[in-house]
Structure 1
């Protein structure tokens, strides 16, 4: 089985919705085992409640868990043009994995939710890939074979760098079907790559 982790942080549910679509796409590839986890929250409960954060009962991951997977798909909201601090804090705690080269050669991908089309959507997708490359991971984007990202009919999230959605300044816009289709496409894309690499590794070990 190829083991795939969809790991995300979500404040209002947009990234969580994309995470489930990513997982759905990954599960469509035979031989794939997919887990969905979230990174720990760092915002105090009283602030979460005041800000109207969505409740989320998804199990929480620990940095040590990452080593057990062949591919990891990271999801984050855009905060001031960058990944959320919760995701950055999680990655900052994975120094032990970096020191042991434990993530080298594993597949990684990124998806994001952003308040506006020009609010750092692509910057978040790209900058989140930087620490993943420091870990030695292989980056998978969302190629143009997903034609939905080229439509000019309405607001569309995502880019060649990863799937995504535009939530609107007030967060009222839910991911569209095109956005969700992009996430499913990316999940499938990652699972196929991971399966091929896992097969190649098994072949090399047997040789």
Structure 2
């Protein structure tokens, strides 16, 4: 009997497209592993205007995440642009609404990784990656980084960190993802999927 493929959730928030592109490369790495399917999901923007509401379905791109996505996934990659060295409020708002899943242990024991994009080279890539790990650790997820067996970590002059994949998008958000950044994002997705497969005994 064939087992269904593992669902690996790639959950991201992207304002100008850089974090979304990283998410797509991570998904590429996930789907390079036999028995794994990437599921891309996003979160709605948070408005400072109390009356503002987001449409039920995004105009384009990945659908909004639902709590069932957390229950159904075997692993999760979480990505956000940097906001003053921290994750964006939209991503934080989503995690603030997952108390029931935290209490029930929905995500406990599943592998996870994080990724980010920043406008400035030293604008908080690593602190953003670390801040995204905090709610994941509270949920009992097991955090994966990138080992230095990836030579790009020693040679990159753009994004890339042992804490997770990253991209330096420039102040206008238009810098393309470099070859090093792409390879590290794909490698992170592949590592996440391979870990999920091993943990499922496949």
Provide the rounded CA distance (Å) in 2 between the counterparts of 1:19 and 1:60. Answer: 14
For structure 2, the residue ranges without an aligned partner over 5 or more in a row are: 49-58
Question: How many residues matched?
Answer: 189
> What RMSD in Å do the two structures reach over aligned CA positions?
1.6
Q: In structure 1, what is the equivalent of residue 172 of structure 2? A: 170
Q: In structure 2, what is the equivalent of residue 67 of structure 1? A: 71
Q: Is the 8 A contact 2:9 2:69 kept in 1?
A: no
CA deviations over 1:183-204 (Å, ceiling 9, x no partner): 000000000001000118xxxx
- Name which of 180, 189, 192 aligns with 1:190: 192
Q: Secondary structure at the match of 2:201?
A: helix
Which one has the bigger helix percentage? 1
Q: Secondary structure at the match of 2:92?
A: helix
Of stretches 138-147 and 183-192 in structure 1, the one that deviates more from structure 2 is 138-147
Provide the rounded CA distance (Å) in 1 between the counterparts of 2:39 and 2:150. Answer: 24
Provide the rounded CA distance (Å) in 2 between the counterparts of 1:159 and 1:31. Answer: 27
Q: 1:78 to 1:56 in 2, by over 3 A?
A: farther
Q: 1:56 to 1:11 in 2, by over 3 A?
A: farther
> 1:170 offset after TM fit, Å?
2.0
TM-score, normalised via structure 1 length: 0.87
Q: In structure 2, what is the equivalent of residue 158 of structure 1? A: 160
Provide the rounded CA distance (Å) in 2 between the counterparts of 1:163 and 1:191. Answer: 15
Q: Which runs of 4+ in 1 moved over 6 A?
A: none
Q: In structure 1, what is the equivalent of residue 54 of structure 2? A: none
For structure 1, the residue ranges without an aligned partner over 5 or more in a row are: 45-54, 201-207
1:130-149 equivalences under 5 Å are 130-149=134-153
Of stretches 174-183 and 22-31 in structure 1, the one that deviates more from structure 2 is 174-183
Q: In structure 1, what is the equivalent of residue 42 of structure 2? A: 38
- Name which of 96, 99, 109 aligns with 2:100: 96
Provide the rounded CA distance (Å) in 2 between the counterparts of 1:145 and 1:2. Answer: 26
CA deviations over 1:2-48 (Å, ceiling 9, x no partner): 2201110000000000000000000000011211111122248xxxx
Provide the rounded CA distance (Å) in 2 between the counterparts of 1:94 and 1:63. Answer: 8
Q: In structure 1, what is the equivalent of residue 10 of structure 2? A: 6
Q: Is the 8 A contact 1:122 1:159 kept in 2?
A: yes
Q: Is the 8 A contact 1:8 1:75 kept in 2?
A: yes
Q: In structure 1, what is the equivalent of residue 181 of structure 2? A: 179
